Amino acid sequence: MPKTRQQSIKKILSINPWVTDFAFYDLWFKPVGLLYLSTILKNYGMDVSFIDCIQKYIGKRKYGKGKIYHEEIALPEVLNKFKMRYFRYGITENEFENKLKEIDKPDIILITSFMTYWYPGILLTAKTLKKYFPDTKIVLGGIYATLLPEHARALENIDYVITGNNFNSIIDSIFEVLNIRKGTFPGINTLDDLPFIDYSLYKSLDSITTVNSLGCPFRCTYCASSILYKKFQYKSSKYINNEFKRYMAYNVSDITFYDDAFLMHPEIIKILKILKLFPFKYHLPNGVHAKFITPRIAKLLFDAGFKTIRIGYEVYDSLLQNKMGGKVTNKILKNAIGYLNNAGYFSGEIGVYVLGGHPKIPINALENSIKYLSDMGVRIYISEYSPVPKTPDGKLYYKKESDPLLTNNSLRRFINDKDKEKYFDLKCFIRIHNSKVAGNHPATY
């Protein structure tokens, strides 16, 4: 059993929970918000332990991304009719329990959350935590907790739910649960007030994930960014320069940005010049805006060492483009790819996201999108639609009384039965196409 706490310093246990899903691939997946919060509390003088339940890799990892170890588990009852294999991704139960045995009894446990349909992973994580620390309060925060707070509050073994991403109010809530006075705690009013993430919280680290900004000025109908972040916020170039100097100490080669609007930073040119000064390889898996890729930006991205470039596109049909947010046109996308080619990127190094399985996008529109991209020779990625609560599209297709598990994009519930064969044919075409443009075996991501 865990050691008995003997010190008066408050002990925090931060947890990135297991993922439960039909499929999951690690594209530099790290709980950035929880890592910031853990660093803040550590800097305040608290004793912070951190466990990332996802961090168990298998196979070869390129640029710090790859497959995650997984074990098949029973389907949740609501999914039984789908007859699909369901997995828990990350460390084994024994490995998790062994880590808990090494930790002093915490005063509070913080769990983060991401996709709404991953909540069974939170249930499994919390159940194990209560086995070892039955009297310690578990606090859940993150995206799922913010989008579906009432559902989150009903989860077994979750004692408190904190919504939103305002670090000041989150810290107030944590101190309230701990029943201690906050004292002279410095406020977090801008992103420059954040400490640099203390990545020594990881005992083993092969890449770093960060953000230069939070939020997005666009209002795409399927996206929750503008709901989670009411305004577009960004770090200063001076902060970013100092932040990356700190990252030099961690002996990693790869750094990934998970901004929703990376290229919209008002100092983006200066930032790209700063990033060029460091020996890292950079990655943009979240889909940048084609509109902001100019010849100059493309050259700066190439010269700085960006190895992963993915662009958000959604659909070829111009009417649908306007209805879904109006952030890109076919001409804008084509120009952006041309600028990247001229800067030094081969088309097969550039990835473009199309939106698949969305009720507003007919199968022929998806086919046209894929053909348009294949003719340009870029790598194609289908971003499979999942209704997000509180978004315009989510309000149309997400029933409040429905289990969030039923919105999992792997179920493809929003594709007409008559279109499913063609949909899978298109996915097969993409796999073969990507293999050809990459010049290797079919991609596994």
What pLDDT, in 10s, does the model give residues 69-94? Answer: 999 999 999 999 998 999 999 999 99
Q: Is 428 part of any domain?
A: yes
**Is residue 271 domain-shared with residue 169, that is, in the same domain?**
no
**Is residue 163 domain-shared with residue 217, that is, in the same domain?**
no
What pLDDT, in 10s, does the model give residues 346-379? Answer: 999 999 999 999 988 999 999 999 999 999 999 9
**Is residue 33 domain-shared with residue 134, that is, in the same domain?**
yes
Q: What are phi and psi of 11, to 5 degrees?
A: -105, 130
Q: Average pLDDT of 265-278?
A: 98
What pLDDT, in 10s, does the model give residues 142-193? Answer: 999 999 999 999 999 999 999 999 999 999 999 999 998 877 677 899 999 9
Q: Any idea which residue has 């609501």 for tokens?
A: 78
DSSP-assigned states of every residue in 292-305: G--HHHHHHHHHHT
Give the relative orientation of helices 295-304 and 330-343 as an angle to the nearest 10 degrees: 50
- The whole-number pLDDT of residue 57 equals 87
| Dihedral angle, C-alpha 55, 56, 57, 62, nearest 10 ° | 20
Instruction: Using the predicted structure, report yes or no on whether residue 229 has a pLDDT greater than 60.
Output: yes
Q: Average pLDDT of 11-32?
A: 96
Q: Average pLDDT of 200-220?
A: 94
The three-class DSSP label of residue 132 is helix
Q: Is 344 part of any domain?
A: yes
**Number of C-beta neighbours around residue 194 at 10 A:** 17
Distance CA 165, CA 191 (A): 12
**Is residue 433 domain-shared with residue 351, that is, in the same domain?**
yes
The three-class DSSP label of residue 240 is helix
Q: Is 322 part of any domain?
A: yes
Looking up residue 154, the CATH number of its domain turns out to be: 3.40.50.280
Instruction: Using the predicted structure, report yes or no on whether residue 236 has a pLDDT greater than 60.
Output: yes
pLDDT band at 207 (very low <50, low <70, confident <90, very high): very high
**Is residue 256 domain-shared with residue 125, that is, in the same domain?**
no
Segments forming the whole domain that contains residue 40: 11-178
**Is residue 53 domain-shared with residue 158, that is, in the same domain?**
yes
Q: Is 90 part of any domain?
A: yes
Instruction: Using the predicted structure, report yes or no on whether residue 433 has a pLDDT greater than 60.
Output: yes
Q: What are phi and psi of 261, to 5 degrees?
A: -145, 60
Give the count of domains, the chain.
2
**Is residue 116 domain-shared with residue 215, that is, in the same domain?**
no
**Is residue 235 domain-shared with residue 354, that is, in the same domain?**
yes
**Is residue 153 domain-shared with residue 221, that is, in the same domain?**
no
pLDDT band at 96 (very low <50, low <70, confident <90, very high): very high
pLDDT band at 399 (very low <50, low <70, confident <90, very high): low
Check: CB of residue 76 under 8 Å from CB of residue 405. yes
CA distances from 34 to 38, 104, 125, 265, 297 (A): 6, 20, 16, 23, 31
What pLDDT, in 10s, does the model give residues 129-152? Answer: 999 999 999 999 999 999 999 999
Q: Any idea which residue has 């958000």 for tokens?
A: 312
Percent of the chain clearing pLDDT 90 (strictly above): 80
Provide the mean pLDDT of the chain. Answer: 93
Instruction: Using the predicted structure, report yes or no on whether residue 444 has a pLDDT greater than 70.
Output: no
CA distances from 18 to 46, 89, 111, 147 (A): 25, 6, 10, 19
419's CB contacts (< 8 A; 6+ apart) are 363
